[in-house]
Structure 1
């Protein structure tokens, strides 16, 4: 009797082994595979593209680059000098693409005859603290109120700073003569500040522009025109001050705008930045280091990709290329529309 029970127990044990062992093996394989996919491949499900890692391969229309800065570490722990070494290496991959075309475009602007560009006023001989650039552009919608913008800036610029540390550069970017003459009249309405060098008016020769009439569609025309206008303004103002601020002709400056800009710059301490933002919309209210590689790269982007991307999109690419992972935005905005 006992022998038959033992035999039954042995048979049952064998059956359990046949069932359990494969089950355990399959379970181990599944667990190992899931762990491998999660930790190594960066996916959290079978065949899923969503994972723990951020894919740094970003395809952009007109500007295409592959970046992998995951090993740079916490940006706050890096000095500007150390990060610049990595940035320069990545930028060179972009800037050397189509180098012949880049050289023709950027060489013309880098060798811009700035004295010939001045229509009203005079260029400062000494480098100041801040240059403010304002493109005056006709709009099919919205309102240009250049006179009000200039009045708010001039009234809120202390005389001692306006004489030596601040310049306001208005760019008459319209191609029709009547609009250019209207802009000249507005700037000439501030004779004291024109004479002191605080206020200047510049224009680009028609030969500077590409064949805009060959562009089909108003959107493409406006995009190309706005990009090359900004490139010209940046090239003119590039080496004139420690910092460059882009404004539009429909914003107002508060009474403490200069001190607020100084304070916000100081708040950054030793943190790395390529742009500080004082206005939330578009390219307006963006502050850059004057001169150097930053503004040269902006000029390159605005000219080389004028057809493919808007000013706002190219400004975003500029921040990406320079590893500005966080937006340095002043809140509330300093300028009002």
Structure 2
């Protein structure tokens, strides 16, 4: 017995005969035919005619397959294979899907899309730190006693924090009270110190004003730490201060070869009265009392006007400033070098509070005509005050102009190394120390010296002495730029 299979546009199920055997034959039924006898009417066309275009799907009438989605279930069990469904598959010879199956297909697609989206949300990967159910199952159960202990610990922690808070507030109040007491004590001490300082200043003004720079010598000269008030002896002078320029000259006894009178004549005579009034010349005698007396007599006789006006002063350096190793200063060149450095430092400390600028000279030089006017005009023409010193002569320490505010730094540097090098060499070293950067090439550092180590040309001072202050030495140094 043959079984006829009709091919429809919608999924169909294969019909079975009474014996339950299925057929997969795709033999077309002639138009107007009824098909083989025994074919169930539910699978045949209502009119008994075969569709004009065979379908590619099969329909299983006796045992419908399980749908893949709940939306595929028909509301009526007979809807899966009914004459109406079969009739809807054929019409005008077209493959159009029936309306019911189209609705089922749309419902199935929408349900599948919603299911896929829900599955995507449900299938989100769990966090690595989240324990699995098996991990939780391995943990021991929490007992009631453990919960009570945990609650007690929390209560104890809260009480501890409350005590700490109260203690912190109490400490804060105590600290504020102590600070207020300290402020009150500091105010009282400052008032008392101010009154005491005013009393000291008034006492010093009645007697003598002592610069504080000399107390710094005790840091570098241990033999002075047990000394009292240290100050040079003012042989003659009016205590002139508040001027623009202070000119310092150190001198010692050269026996029958002295140049001090020639030097003072050149320096003082080439000033105008206004320039003389705005300056002070300080002669520092660093030698025996016999030479000091001769110098005082000479200046009072030859430069009486300048002495009376206070423009010329003579001071003497007491022997307590020098260490005991300088007893043979005229024999040992090293001791002579040390004494020279100390003489310059003491003279700088004495002149520092008197003027704005300090000019270092020696006792065997002469000055150029109108040297003071040229020096003053050149200093006033400088737009920057960031210079270390100005050279008005290239020889040694002659003609070096400093700002008085920097003199303490220079003196301290000289006192640190006065036993190692001569003072004119130390003057070059302080430039390298203060101006050259770490690791910088010396050539590039020296090229930057023009702004801080200024050289004036032509030189305003010339060296004229041939007999050195060191016994038995002669020198014929001349400034080529004079």
Contact persistence 2:266–2:366 (CA under 8 A)? yes
Which of the numbers 449, 458, 469 marks the counterpart of 1:325? 449
Residues matched between the structures, number:
230
Matching of residues 9-28 of structure 1 within 5 Å: none
CA distance 1:103–1:312, change in 2 (3 Å):
closer
Question: By how many angstroms is 1:154 displaced?
Answer: 1.5
Matched with 1:242 is 356
- In 2, Cα distance between the equivalents of 1:100 and 1:261? 35
Matched with 2:194 is none
Matched with 1:188 is 300
Matching of residues 272-291 of structure 1 within 5 Å: 272-290=386-404
Question: By how many angstroms is 1:216 displaced?
Answer: 11
Relative to the length of structure 1, the TM-score reads: 0.62
CA distance 1:101–1:239, change in 2 (3 Å):
closer
CA distance 1:193–1:210, change in 2 (3 Å):
same
What RMSD in Å do the two structures reach over aligned CA positions? 2.9
Which of the numbers 237, 248, 252 marks the counterpart of 1:137? 252
Matched with 1:253 is 367
Q: Which has the larger radius of gyration?
A: 2
- In 2, Cα distance between the equivalents of 1:179 and 1:303? 26
Q: Is 1:120 the counterpart of 2:236 in the alignment?
A: yes
**Deviations along 1:209-237, whole A, 9 cap, x unmatched?**
11112789611111110010011100100
Contact persistence 1:230–1:302 (CA under 8 A)? no
Question: By how many angstroms is 1:268 displaced?
Answer: 2.9
Relative to the length of structure 2, the TM-score reads: 0.44
Q: Is 1:171 the counterpart of 2:171 in the alignment?
A: no
- In 2, Cα distance between the equivalents of 1:310 and 1:210? 17
CA distance 1:271–1:201, change in 2 (3 Å):
closer
Matching of residues 199-238 of structure 1 within 5 Å: 199-211=312-324, 212-213=326-327, 218-238=332-352
Question: By how many angstroms is 1:160 displaced?
Answer: 2.5
User: Highest relative contact order (Cα 8 Å, sep 6+), 1 or 2?
Assistant: 1
- In 1, Cα distance between the equivalents of 2:417 and 2:226? 16
- In 1, Cα distance between the equivalents of 2:243 and 2:274? 12
CA distance 1:259–1:308, change in 2 (3 Å):
same
